[in-house]
Amino acid sequence: MRSPRLLQFGTGALGVVAALGLWQLAATTGPLADSPLPTATEAIAALLGLLGTPAMWIATWDTVAMTLAGLVIAAVAGILLGIGIGVSPLAMHATRVPLEFLKPIPPIVILPIVVLVLGPTAGMGIFLVFIGCFVSIVVQASAGVFDTDPVATATGRSYGLGRSEILARIVLPSALPYIGTAIRVAAPTALIVAVVAGLLGGGPGLGQSLLLTQIAGDQSKLFAYVLVLGILGLIVQGLSQWGERRLLHWHPQHRKQVA
């Protein structure tokens, strides 16, 4: 059990070292030697310098707060609406086309209107994150509820279970894999939207720090912020996968992974 995990960790570490080596080579003697691209060592040195500045930690916290707040609101509202849609075949078929139409539309298209109404604030970022995650969670939650095995629900009725008991004991456990996948996929999206809210909308967070650093022309610091975002993205993805495994530890697929 431990050896495969160590092997995966070692392989991932080698991949990171190889990528940094290629970056260093391309920025020193490679085709990008005369470009503004800083070397990997310069970016890492700038990153170490950023770690000692309160401004970086404040910006990181602002981004994380917008990501979590928008994602939690979208998850709660999306799951509730998805359950309401999924339990009704009429509502499921009536909303399928509008939801599928809205799902691929990025929240950036309404960014100018949201900035005009809410201003370059954290609330603007939270709202954009909510918009970016809400529809996909509704679609997955409603599909999970709708695809519940009818034999299981009929069996529940034959044992005298009421509608609320069937919903809690049969329908929701059946829909949890859909919901868990939706939230896991939405978590990185929420982080991206929170960064875009600062980068293009002027809201607080790492996106605004990226913009200001780009305007200042400090390329090493700019790529240091990119590294911060990459590390933050890995953390968000890892936590979302861990949460999904904890939530669905009983599911056959996750039991197989543990085994």
Residue 259 has pLDDT above 60, yes or no: no
Q: Percent of the chain beyond pLDDT 70?
A: 93
Q: Give me the CATH code for the 38-258 domain, please.
A: 1.10.3720.10
Confidence of residue 129 (pLDDT cuts 50, 70, 90): very high
- Residue 77, judged by CB atoms within 10 A of its CB (0-12, 13-18, 19+), counts as middle
Residue 1 has pLDDT above 50, yes or no: no
- Find the angle CA(130)-CA(239)-CA(234) to the nearest 5 degrees: 90
The pLDDT tens digits for 174-228 are: 888 899 889 999 999 999 999 999 888 888 899 999 999 988 888 899 999 999 9
Q: How confident is the model at residue 253, as a pLDDT? A: 58
**What's the rounded Cα separation, in Å, for the pair 194 and 207?**
8
Amino acid present at 121: T
Q: What is the pTM of this model?
A: 0.86
The pLDDT tens digits for 53-78 are: 999 999 999 999 999 999 999 999 99
In degrees and rounded to multiples of 5, residue 34 shows phi and psi of -95, 10
Q: How confident is the model at residue 258, as a pLDDT? A: 47
Q: Collapse the DSSP code of 113 into the 3-class scheme (helix H, G, I; strand E, B; otherwise coil) and give the result.
A: helix
**What's the rounded Cα separation, in Å, for the pair 192 and 161?**
43
